[in-house]
Structure 1
Amino acid sequence: MAFDTGDVYKAAPEGVALNDYMDYTAQFTTNKDSMKNQATIYRANSATYNNPYDIIQMMNGTDKTQLSSIWGTRSYDSDSANPKIDNYFDLKNKQSVSAWLYFGDRDPYKDVDYNSSDTAKNLPDGLAFVLQNDSRGKNAISYGANDGKLAYGQTLGVWGSGNSDASVNSSVLSIGSGAIKNSFALEFDNLRNSTVSTESNSKDDYFDGMKKQNSDITKGQHMAWGYPGASTIETSTVGSIPTNFDASQNTYLSNKYRPLFSISSYYYYGMNHQGVLPGLYFSGDSQLNKVWHHFTLNYTPPESGSTMATVQYIFNDKNYDGTPTEFNEWDKNTVKIDISKLMTLDIGNSNPDPYKVRWGFTASTGSQYSAPSPFAIVIQEMPNVANIEVSTKLFDLSEYNAADNTWEREISDLDRKGSNESSNNPKYNVANGDKLRFEYDLNYISGFAGTGDEIATTLNLPDSVDFSADPETDLGKDDIIGQIKYANFAADEDNQTIPIYASEVSTDSDGNQVLHLNLHKMDTANQTAKIELFGKAQAKTTPTTVKGEHANYKSIHFIDDALSPSFIINDPLQLSTKDDLNLGTINTKDLNNNQVNLNLTADYQNGSKFDKNNFTLYTEIDGQQLNSTVVSTTDQQTTYDIANNIGNSTQLTAEYLGVGEHTIKVWAVDYLNRTSTPITYNVVVQGTQLSLDIDPEYFFQDINSQSSKGYVNRKGVWKVKVNSTDTPWTLTASADPLTLKTDSTQELGPLFYRDKSGNDQSLVDQSPIIASDNNADPTTKVTDIGGNWGIEDGILLESIGVKQAGEYGSIINWNLINSL
């Protein structure tokens, strides 16, 4: 279906204001010819089209032969009276570019078999996203390496060209010299050029015709990347890329070709395509809301010491309304590019910093089988205007994470699941009733302009999640369901946490929950805004797959979209007990009452059977976790009474617990990491107890000379404590002299004990009584021995003359017995 350009532009999706950040004033001139740059900008609400957002038109629908380019402005392109904004692409930092692209309405496969490699004829040639450091700056464009004329058609304005026709009877080994130099290009090739020249006046039109191992490299409308300024090699086999072809050094190929029954030979020029996404639909959509296609490029700089950066390019990652499409439906690729090929500063290059390269788009048409059609771009994110990293996360706050002994586990996005991966995986599953935390993160990477104003944020909340306030939490008591956390803003008052109240959630006409927020404007690297929303999994039936919901961020200079993670809600695992949670009192001396037996039962809420993957029972005593115990479910029952003989998990003795008051917490975790609500018991243990609480290391003060007191004081308070219940006790100590760590023949000391009366006893040849107590009280008593030592009593170090410098050490042997 043919669309009027005005209708298409009026239906343009959301885009940012371009202001004076993009430059389309390039002059296309060589010493042989010139051509007007076809690119232009129609500002929002233009008189021509009444388009709602700024639109870059790269090509019109009338001129058969066209070249165009548009670049981010560079400050050194202007005179001092009219300086331009420096809208560069920074190779040292993460960068993103996103835009909506319009390629016209011509059916690309109308008169060809879609399964073949070809496209229909009478399509415009295509568009390219380009990073470049060409000395011609904004005027860089393709030309023929042989004839010096401007090269349109299959070059897309960025690739090199051998010549304007195929009659040159000589090999061209430098087609790249006619390309935009020091560049990387990602092409959107609308028309597959695969015709070998058969007449002296036919055009060089074979860039897409090369094969590798007898397979076509490109098929149909396609995306691919390469280095336009790389060199050319001659192939030994017509139309085939050699197996030893070095794509990092060469992009183009040439070979002499003699058509059948012809006495003349011609040269064809092919091109190697890297990272091909084949068989795409750029044009020919039958619905007006599908003619715009979204494109995102994400750049990650090289690691230290490397020049290999990572580039991810994605096509059709958003629907017309801005909602991201499902991840597995994206046409995408992730590749490595060598940024050293972009950083050469040729003579005449005005760029002061080779890492800050020019970015933009080129377009062209004019191949022998092409036809004109409008090409247009709506920008959503420009790398050095407002470059913000957007992400979403989900955490289950009811699930136990055994890896780090915490009650929080991140849930992965089911939409990102690998094609060979099962959804029956703990990282994608939560249990009905689990407490959840959704996170929406914005991280400002770079950009001279910033967002321009506050970021209007619309969050469509996931289904099957209850976002009402939780009265069991401190936030929920105040009707708070979330918060916005700001960090790294210049003004302290901007680095605050803003509550989100339940009353702020509204319901749209379709009954969906929506939250509208205005985030601070962002304009400085490392500024972050984190939205946290707290909810509870609440599915009517299980299992339920919860789809990701749209998050939209919009400001003058920044637009982006994200989906909340998709996940699965299953039946919760339940752990119940027949016991009173107050287990009463047990006694270490009473053989008839010296242990507790925990009577536990595990099942699923809706009575489903356990599978053969077992589950694990965890026990925690006074905040200290014990070893976990695996409960076998190989017989696949619906209910398991956990036996009392599973070690310390369900049968706990008074001796094991120790005298005093204790809390015992138990919970179960199954193979999907579904965690039961913990059960917490209380128990009191009576009986005899005796233990020593000491530090692993003690220190004396440093010695610079012999002490006038004849001894050296302790450094700090030494922890020496005795815990006792219903038993007398005596504590003694002994120790060898301190020796130099690097030379054990050098001794220091000895250690001695001085009581409150000033009596001294050596720890070397004696074992003096340090403390004792005749305690028959059933109440637990803590005797702080070290804390009661003064400066001149307790364990001291005798100072005998000046010794060799260094660190001296020994071991104190403590002996605690339950008698006087």
Structure 2
Amino acid sequence: MGRNNFFNKISYVLFVIIVSITTTFIIDNHIVSAAKLSDPADLNNAINTAPQGLDIKNGAFVVGTFGNNSAKVIDRNKTPDDKTGILQITSAANQLGSIWGDINKDNYIDLNNNQTLSMWLYFGRPVDPSLPAGVGDGMAFVLQNSGIDAISRYTGPKPSHNPSAVNKLGIGESMGVWGTDFNYDHGATSTTSIAKTAIQKSWAMEFDTFLNKATNYDDISGEGFSFDNLQNGQHIGANYPDSPSSYRQQTAYDYHSTGTPLARDYYVLSHDGPGSLSLTDANWHHITYNWNAATETMNYSFNDKKLDGTHINDAYTGSYQIDPSHFKLSDNKLRWGFTGSTGKYFENNLVVFESIPSFVSADSSVSIKDNTLDKVLSTSDNYVDAGDDLSFIYNLNFESGSKEWENILASMNLPSQVSFESASIKYGDDPNVEVIPASEFSNSSVQHLLQRNLSNSNKQATIEIHTKVKPVTSAVSVPKSHASFKGDNFIIDDDAQAFNIRYKDISTLNLSTDVEGTINYDNLMSAPETTVINGLVKNSTGKVIDNSTTDVHTELNGVKQSYKLNGQNPGEFVVNVKRSDLIAGKNTLTIYAEDVSGKKSNEIKIIFDIGGGLTFGVVNDVSFKTINQGLKDQLVQRQSGWRVEVVDGRTPGQSWDLQAKADNLYSDNDTKLNGNLVFKDEDGNLSSLIDYQSVKTHIKNITDVQTIDVAGLWTKNAGILLQMNEVNPSGKYTGKIHWNLIDSVH
């Protein structure tokens, strides 16, 4: 039994020696190759794509005072006047960086007042695309009251097997701010001892790009690789680094050993926040922090806008309660900054600032006023009409700051659905107006450099752009329009709200034909059998005409017709005028179009002037007055509305004779009327119309075409009348009158 124990013990010792030698080799390998492990191509990409930011090269930040600090400020230098400074936290393997706001240069956070910080973060990329997890470790946004030398430091015992392998600074998972979970000889440790190695009197939000999730006994090397055991993927998390409650003790067991399993402790970091993020994608990521002094809450919005400044709706948002007493401040000035670290894997960790609250604290707002409807648009009332006068109003408000908001370049995009009219700026109560010239409007955007800075003595600027809503062919939803205001010490983006343009059709239909004016023919027979008139209907706005919903209306000699546009292409139609529809003299054809909404086009008149010939003009249906059964020999008068026209286009001196005969009249049930139509001349003589009877003769006495309405010449008791023979059953009786026009010689 004792012998077996002896061999087991020997095996265990040999195993430990092998592991120790292997670990030392890896660490040494890191040190030897660290100088070569960097990604300059990615750094160039970061600088070339970096957004405009604040000028931080004038001592606004101070590098942490510990050896081999990798943090520094570099230039963007896109133009000779570019003042954008970029914080570079790390750029190679096995680095640790920290950089802090210089309180002596008024760069601090005042927890007694609301504060806003906004910035862009860059996390690099995997240098080997086949190894997407080959990045690390990230960086942290830190609030602290421990000075510019603050950094996480391991103060425990050195490992007995290799004292030179210990890096006392908190690289890797600690990111220079969290406690260092170093326990090389697996001796006694605790959450309290780990918290003491963190930056004291601090709160941190980390952007972790490398998961440290060692939980197996053989993987617990005492070098701290387990903080992220509760996380999934690249993530954001926050807590107090110097608080023991931020760490959880866990134990890994070696169940392969005999007897009681061997145990090694490790620690997990409690830091809640969104996970499964894509941080190392070689893109800039924007974050906005808003400190609410009343509720003592730090609110954040990550990935909340694009590089062009436009808002992203699905940003990651959250909030953390922060106890100001945790920092043990003696005044209202809390230091803030960034730390970051790399290990075997590395990345370019960079920051570009848009706002630093102690420099300039400001905000903006945008409203749209419909001057025509006299209202300010809101989310519940966002309708305007085509032709309305709209004012886009941008309010810039300087709240406080140790610096002026200077060299403000205002860039305001306007919707394509409005046209620019004019623009101006007013500063506070100053009655003078700064005019923005029309030349600064281009491609639906106004760009103007404000002539005055905003400061404690000049706190407000109001930019007003006057526009007019363009005509629309249907209701239009107009999206938000972006605006940015970029100065040396403060940058902010804003959006004018979305709105809707109601469709108010002010367009017109324009009709044209290939035949216009008067068409002359010597006589009716010289006119073509069919005259083809080609027409076209257009909308004044250029909207395509829908033939299926647009009608053509024609009228020729009192006869009306309507039909859909019948051309092959939109808006085209054809009108066929038959010779049989024409008469001697002037024939007026009117044409107009009408769409389904009731919109009518202009009316075109075409006159067919037919010379010579004798023909009928208008001859309409006729009726007689209503009687009660009727009496024998009773004469029934005509109803009004009789019209029997004779049109004479011949030369003067020629005559004509109009004759008429009438059929019997029958009721709806085929009962014959006891009576018949007769003609009564001017002398009172009655003539039956059973056969043709002359009812009017005339000799033409003018040169022009002469039209005579024969029925219009009759008195009410003369002309064609209805003679009753005896009493008739009640009912409606109908029949036909046949007209015969004779070209006679006088």
Give 1:179's aligned residue. Answer: 198
Structure 1, residues 203-226: CA drift from partner, whole Å, max 9, x if none?
32222212xxxxxxx322122222
- Structure 1 unaligned blocks of 5 or more: 29-34, 76-84, 112-119, 211-217, 232-249, 286-290, 303-307, 346-351, 400-406, 413-425, 469-480, 489-494, 575-605, 607-637, 640-820
Q: Assess if the C-alpha contact under 8 Å between 2:407 and 2:449 holds in 1.
A: no
> 2:32 is matched with which residue?
none
| Alpha carbons 1:171, 1:256 under 8 Å: kept | no
**Unpaired segments of 5 or more residues in structure 2?**
1-38, 159-167, 507-542, 544-596, 599-746
Counterpart residue type for residue 205 of structure 2:
L
Structure 1 residue 335, shift from structure 2 partner: 4.2
* 2:684 aligned residue: none
TM-score (norm 2): 0.56
Shift of 1:157: 1.4
Q: Answer yes or no: is 1:277 the counterpart of 2:274.
A: yes
CA distance in 2, matches of 1:130, 1:526: 33
The residue that corresponds to 1:484 in the other structure is: 425
The equivalent of 1:462 in structure 2 is: 415
Q: 1:166 to 1:207 in 2, by over 3 A?
A: farther
Amino acid at match of 1:97: L
**Residues 51-450 of structure 1 mapped to structure 2, 5 A cutoff:** 53-61=84-92, 64-75=93-104, 85-106=105-126, 120-134=132-146, 137-144=147-154, 146-147=156-157, 149-163=168-182, 165=184, 167-196=186-215, 198-199=217-218, 201-210=221-230, 218-231=231-244, 250-262=245-257, 263-274=261-272, 276-285=273-282, 291-302=283-294, 308-320=295-307, 322-326=308-312, 328-342=313-327, 344-345=328-329, 352-353=330-331, 355-366=332-343, 370-397=344-371, 407-412=374-379, 426-450=380-404
Deviation at 1:519, TM superposition (A): 4.7
Shift in Å at residue 503 of structure 1?
Answer: 2.7
Contact 2:184 2:221 in 1 (8 A): yes
Contact 1:323 1:563 survives alignment (8 Å): no
Tell me the C-alpha RMSD between the 2 structures: 3.4
Q: Is the 8 A contact 1:24 1:39 kept in 2?
A: no
Q: Is the 8 A contact 2:476 2:503 kept in 1?
A: no
Residue 22 of structure 1 contacts residue 70 of structure 1 at CA under 8 Å; is this kept in 2? no
1:547 aligns with 2:479: yes
Q: Alpha-carbon deviation of 1:295?
A: 2.4
Change (3 A) 1:254 1:53: same
Change (3 A) 1:513 1:122: closer
CA pair 554-536 structure 1, distance change in 2 beyond 3 A:
same
Q: 1:531 to 1:444 in 2, by over 3 A?
A: same
Q: What's the TM-score once normalised by structure 1's chain length?
A: 0.51
Q: For residues 95 and 329 of structure 1, what CA distance do their matches in structure 2 show?
A: 23
Shift of 1:545: 2.3
Cα distance in 2 for residues equivalent to 1:264 and 1:315: 43
Contact 2:385 2:469 in 1 (8 A): yes
- Is this contact kept in 2: 1:145–1:175, CA < 8 A? no
> Is contact 2:182–2:222 with CA below 8 Å preserved after alignment?
no
Give the conservation status (yes or no) of the 8 Å contact 1:545–1:567: yes
Cα shift at 1:456:
1.9
Alpha-carbon distance, 1:91 to partner: 1.3
Change beyond 3 A, Cα 1:220–1:429: farther
Residues 180 and 198, structure 2, Cα contact 8 Å, conserved in 1: yes
TM-aligned CA deviation for residue 324 of structure 1: 1.8
Q: Is the 8 A contact 2:73 2:87 kept in 1?
A: yes
Distance 1:50 1:159 in 2: 39
Partner of 1:586: none
Query: Judging changes above 3 Å, is the alpha-carbon distance between structure 1 residues 499 and 6 closer, same or farther for their aligned structure 2 residues?
Result: closer
Secondary structure of the 2:267 match is strand
Contact 2:126 2:133 in 1 (8 A): no
- The structural deviation recorded for 1:389 is 1.5
Partner residue in 1 for 2:695: none
Seen in structure 2, the aligned counterparts of structure 1 residues 96 and 573 have a Cα distance that, compared at 3 Å, is farther
**Contact kept in structure 1, 2:111 and 2:324, CA below 8 Å:** yes
Highest CA radius of gyration, 1 or 2?
2
Partners of 1:391 and 1:38 in 2: CA distance: 39
CA distance in 2, matches of 1:388, 1:177: 38
Deviation at 1:554, TM superposition (A): 2.2
| 1:39 and 2:49 are equivalent in the alignment | no
Query: Contact conserved, 2:472 with 2:503, CA < 8 A, in 1?
Result: no
The question of whether the paired residues in 1 share the 8 Å contact of 2:63 and 2:100 is answered with: no
Matched, 1:14 2:6: no
Q: Tell me the SS of whatever aligns to 1:484.
A: strand
1:507 alignment partner AA: S
The offset of 1:358, in angstroms, is 0.5
For 2:485, the aligned partner's letter is Y
Q: Which amino acid aligns with 2:58?
A: D
The equivalences for 1:668-747 within 5 A come to none
Is the contact between residue 287 and residue 303 of structure 2 (CA under 8 Å) also seen in structure 1? yes
Give deviations 1:350-369, integer Å, cap 9, x for gaps.
Answer: xx51x210011111122xxx
- By how many angstroms is 1:2 displaced? 8.8
Alignment of 1:738-757 (within 5 A): none
SS, match of residue 176 in structure 2: coil
Cα contact 1:145–1:162 (8 A) shared by 2: no
How many residue pairs align between the two structures?
458
8 Å contact from structure 1 (residues 126, 363) kept in 2: yes
Is 1:456–1:554's contact at 8 Å kept on the other side of the alignment?
A: yes
Bigger drift between 533-542 and 544-553 goes to 533-542
How far residue 180 of structure 1 moved from its aligned partner, in angstroms, is 1.8
Q: For 2:103, give the aligned amino acid.
A: R
By percentage of residues, which structure has more helix? 2
**1:440 Cα offset (Å):** 1.5
Distance 1:173 1:19, change over 3 A: closer
Amino acid at match of 1:408: K
